[in-house]
Structure 1
């Protein structure tokens, strides 16, 4: 039963990847650099350390592409978390105009507007390519941007690490009772769900996770996936590695831009930024998918114990998630409107992917193991 349920959550979305790449390339091809003798220089704060090489390399490539496509007239310099502000302060410095733009995730800033969660990832929500379909062709991006308009920001979707792992634990958790009192580093809407289940969520930037685990400040922590987690050396401070990351099946990163700065850009420069960001959506996800298989083997070789979340925990988390979604929708009109739109899209794409991708994956994976 457990195996079957895990298989039912697999979706590959190759068609979505190709469509996304074609869209990005079309935008790049149509962008025209305006003649300008004035060089524009922006600073980009990020929520990531440089050692997170896939994300930070993609950010640098984004900046290089913008410079190339503007003949060196538009220069963006990225800074790792802590160089300008901490990982959790990118939103505020971009909003204030202290920094021109930032690369982060809205999951860190749901206190600003709870409905922003639909722009990144919801527990038991959409897989990465499903999320891209929702954002680009399901009305999601327009709805998210309408929220950011009121906050003085422009958001460009810019990458996803894919379906995440369930995190690192210093003790086994087999039942919901085992979660009670558990201090766990966990951001976003998933933190609210875990709180409902009795855990004590703690919000920490990436640079603080390993130290907090090692010193016993927290009992568990989630970060990303095998590749990202291996880079943080989390295998040195926790033994048990749980899956799946039900609270973040499709975390979507964003480039946040100060609205006044955006409005001052030539239209062609705006289109260049949009095109370069769209390309990041494909490259970051593809590189993580390529790297995670190798990293997972490395972690197993190091003695890490892989453990699935029990059916008891998954079912309780699923129930708590949709109770909280309904509760939040009753308290916040913008959240309610987006929730209804998102849930209808989710229902339709789940039905389609059950027919096309799930049936293929179920047979192929079982056949390869036989």
Structure 2
């Protein structure tokens, strides 16, 4: 073979290897490029009227936050209660793959999972900050994951309306006897507390409660706090707005995500969803403090609303009933027992500081 032919063969071989290498690199790089450019579009069903102050705003803001942080790679379309499924069916919609995401509250699922209530609020339970500490660093999130995993769903804290008021009553409550036969719209374990005190709990989605109270179909409503309650117009039916909200000392909302949809996301998008939920929880709680103060001022000064306290005998009876109910929930399953014990430990561990902090805040507010 001549030197010229040999040099030509070496040159062709180098060109071939170079081109093959480029092709191989291209083949290997395509999936990475595709992964980076893939866009997901999810549907979020909610349990709220669209943009309801508090939870409805949180739902939309969470969706916007995820879209912005992901650079449009994960787009969330928000649907109000009833637009895809009714308010109390969003968990099943996520579990069944009808939607990828939902914004709601865990205590709506107490019928199918009694221990779910601990992840929103229980009567005489943890306040918003103590509840957040339990979820984030006290083992609550792992228990929540375990509870929902058999349904193919996971959840994150994603909004908080703060402590709730005791509710709107069409007639004065002077003693536990005044609750006999009273029809009250109430959610969570408060419904069973009121039942044991002689009232009749009624389940209604948020969009229906103002009309029911105005027409006398129900006698009382426990919903959330001044901001949300003012937006629903509950003050038009009665001016009696009782406190404290022993039923819901915390107003935690949850973001539900289909585990299948979650596992399809890239690691960075999963981190974005988690961080967006945390950010929304913090902003919503800050919003609640500001907006509830402003709304309460409007309710009292402009609409003549009164805020009497429940009589001590009513609170004592409610506390006793709540203790029995929580014990019954703890006995429903080994997992429920572990959740109840973990929650109780968090409450006991933080009780002294929470009480002192509340007392300091009250003292500062009056001086």
SS of the residue corresponding to residue 86 of structure 2 reads coil
SS of the residue corresponding to residue 308 of structure 1 reads coil
Maintained 8 Å contact 2:224/2:251: no
SS of the residue corresponding to residue 102 of structure 2 reads strand
Maintained 8 Å contact 1:175/1:310: yes
Look up the match of 1:307: 308
1:110 aligns with 2:110: yes
Over residues 294-349 of structure 1, what are the superposed CA-to-partner deviations in whole Å (9 max), with x where a residue is unaligned? 21111112111221111010011001111111122233322211111211111110
Over residues 218-264 of structure 1, what are the superposed CA-to-partner deviations in whole Å (9 max), with x where a residue is unaligned? 10001111111110011111221101110101121111111111111
| Distance in 1 separating the partners of 2:229 and 2:135 | 27
How many residue pairs end up in the alignment? 334
| Distance in 1 separating the partners of 2:152 and 2:295 | 40
Look up the match of 1:40: 40
| Distance in 1 separating the partners of 2:155 and 2:40 | 19
Maintained 8 Å contact 2:165/2:225: yes
Structure 1: 4+ residue segments shifted above 6 A: none
Between 1 and 2, higher relative CO (CA 8 Å, sep ≥ 6) is seen in 1
Q: TM-score, normalised by structure 1?
A: 0.87
SS of the residue corresponding to residue 257 of structure 1 reads strand
Compute the displacement of 1:51 (Å): 4.3
Structure 1 unaligned residues grouped into runs of 5+ = 1-32
Over residues 54-97 of structure 1, what are the superposed CA-to-partner deviations in whole Å (9 max), with x where a residue is unaligned? 43333223222222222212111111112112211111111110
1:323 aligns with 2:324: yes
Maintained 8 Å contact 1:48/1:80: yes
| Distance in 2 separating the partners of 1:326 and 1:34 | 52
Maintained 8 Å contact 2:169/2:240: yes
Look up the match of 1:333: 334
SS of the residue corresponding to residue 257 of structure 2 reads strand
| Distance in 2 separating the partners of 1:317 and 1:34 | 58
Alignment of 1:92-171 (within 5 A): 92-171=92-171
Over residues 121-168 of structure 1, what are the superposed CA-to-partner deviations in whole Å (9 max), with x where a residue is unaligned? 010000100110111011011111110111210101101100111111
Moved more, 100-109 or 332-341: 332-341
1:220 aligns with 2:230: no
Look up the match of 2:13: none
Look up the match of 1:183: 183
Maintained 8 Å contact 2:46/2:102: yes
Aligned in 2, Cα 1:195/1:272: closer, same or farther, shift over 3 Å?
Answer: same
Structure 2 unaligned residues grouped into runs of 5+ = 1-32
| Distance in 1 separating the partners of 2:183 and 2:119 | 27
Look up the match of 1:342: 343
Aligned in 2, Cα 1:184/1:288: closer, same or farther, shift over 3 Å?
Answer: same
| Distance in 2 separating the partners of 1:253 and 1:243 | 21
